[in-house]
Amino acid sequence: MKTIDDLQVAGQRVFVRADLNVPLDGTTITDDGRIRAVAPTIAKLVERGARVIVASHLGRPKGAPDPAFSLAPAAARLGEILGQDVAFAADTVGESARSVTAGLADGQVAVLENLRFNAGETSKDDAERGAFAEQLAGLADLYVGDGFGAVHRKHASVYDLPKRLPHAVGDLIATEVGVLKKLTEDVKRPYVVALGGAKVSDKLAVIDQLIEKADRILVGGGMAYTFLKAKGHEVGISLLQEDQVPVCLEYLARAEKRGVEFVLPVDVLVSAEFPDLKTKAPAHPDTVAADAIPADKEGLDIGPKTRELYAAKLADAGTVFWNGPMGVFEHPDYAGGTQAVAQALLDSPAFTVVGGGDSAAAVRLLGFDETAFGHISTGGGASLEYLEGKTLPGLAALED
């Protein structure tokens, strides 16, 4: 793959497919990590005299404009980070986009409105996607792919557009791929994987691969309860995917046969009610053994004994990949498990990778120093699919 250092960008209109898909509370950005991650690539292009056109999706609008998903707040924040004015186009390929991009001078930056306001961006019809990509290509001379969080999507701006323009990878994607290669090709052992999050089905494919590669797999979050159910335990009203129990049983058996430690919670925090994440009112959870969850209660975080156990299992690691929180980290009464795992990663001498998504958000929300981790990915789904061994459309399109 070519990098941006291989491109002659001075005076050229450079289309940067970024990932500005940040969480919003109204028009307030609650986590700007993805904007900060792509800013160095944009700044480098600015310094070299490019006319930079930044494009991204945000949320899941239905192929038409929706003010709730406007990229205007992200454009404003990008300007603050870059320390310069950033123009904003009120559409993707319409009159505003054409006017704003045509008016750029060397070293200036513009952001297009949410790409998913156009149905062609996410269409499964190759012709419809291609037509939108042609319109986007008309705005620019060169293409830089730097939205790692979207490279697993076969979308117009990710897959079809780089085929229509001279292209290269941005510094963020180059870094992300380099890190993931360390998790697949050059692993320092013991290799420990910590998986959490809500649904076990979201992680089954990566667990299937990791049983062949990891030395130890720690499971928390909502997905743990399907594994606990597979072991015959009562899980009360905890999040459960009953149809995945047979698969979990199979994975537990495979891990044992291969000598891979598959570690489940030994205690959990439970409550009869889900916590109020707006008011953060005290939840007063109970701590129970993982095999003694009351029938009328829900597991919402790993307990103190499990936190100690997982910290011990991470202490001697050579490489750690962590994807998914251990509980409902957004509420202070259920943040302790996620906090304990994050702290264990910091205390470990291992090369540590935080696999994007909610894990990255949790690290920032809980006040950890991001630079203390080996790497914090900007793409949870993309990271998982890479580790599953899948071909990622957005990376394939950037090959020479």
Candidates 36, 199, 213, 305; catalytic one: 199
Do residues 194 and 224 lie in contact, with contact meaning Cβ atoms separated by under 8 Å? no
The yes-or-no answer on residue 357 being catalytic is yes
Q: Is the peptide bond before 190 cis (omega within 30 degrees of 0)?
A: yes
CB 29 within 8 A of CB 77: yes
CA distances 227 to 96, 204, 219, 252, Å, are 52, 11, 9, 8
Cβ atoms of 378 and 341 closer than 8 Å: no
User: Kind and range of the H or E element at 128?
Assistant: helix 126-137
Compute the CA torsion angle 183, 184, 189, 193 (nearest 10 deg).
60
CA angle 206, 211, 213 (to 5 degrees): 95
List Cα–Cα distances, 6 to 48, 108, 144, in angstroms: 12, 20, 11
Task: Judge contact between 55 and 18, C-beta under 8 A.
Answer: yes
345: which residues sit within 8 A by CB, 6+ positions away? 314, 320, 322, 352, 354, 373
- Is 196 among the residues known to form the active site? no
Which of 149, 196, 222, 381 does the annotation list as catalytic?
Answer: 381
Radius of gyration of the chain (CA): 22
Catalytic residue, from 34, 51, 77, 154: name it: 34
Work out whether strand 51-55 and strand 261-263 pair parallel, antiparallel, or are unpaired: unpaired
Q: How many CA atoms, within 13 angstroms, populate the side-chain half-sphere of residue 31?
A: 21
> Is 107 labeled as catalytic in the residue annotation?
no
Catalytic-role residue among 299, 357, 379, 394? 357
Give catalytic status of residue 221 as yes or no: no
Q: Exposed, middle or buried, 63 (CB in 10 Å: 0-12/13-18/19+)? A: middle
Residue 149, Ramachandran bin (φ over 0: left; ψ between -120 and 50: alpha; else beta):
alpha
Q: SS3 sequence, 314-377?
A: HHCCCEEEEECCCCCCCCHHHCHHHHHHHHHHHHCCCEEEECCHHHHHHHHHCCCCHHHCCEEC
* Residue whose tokens read 């123009």: 87
Which tokens in the block code for residue 380? 């949870």
Name the residues annotated as catalytic.
34, 199, 357, 381
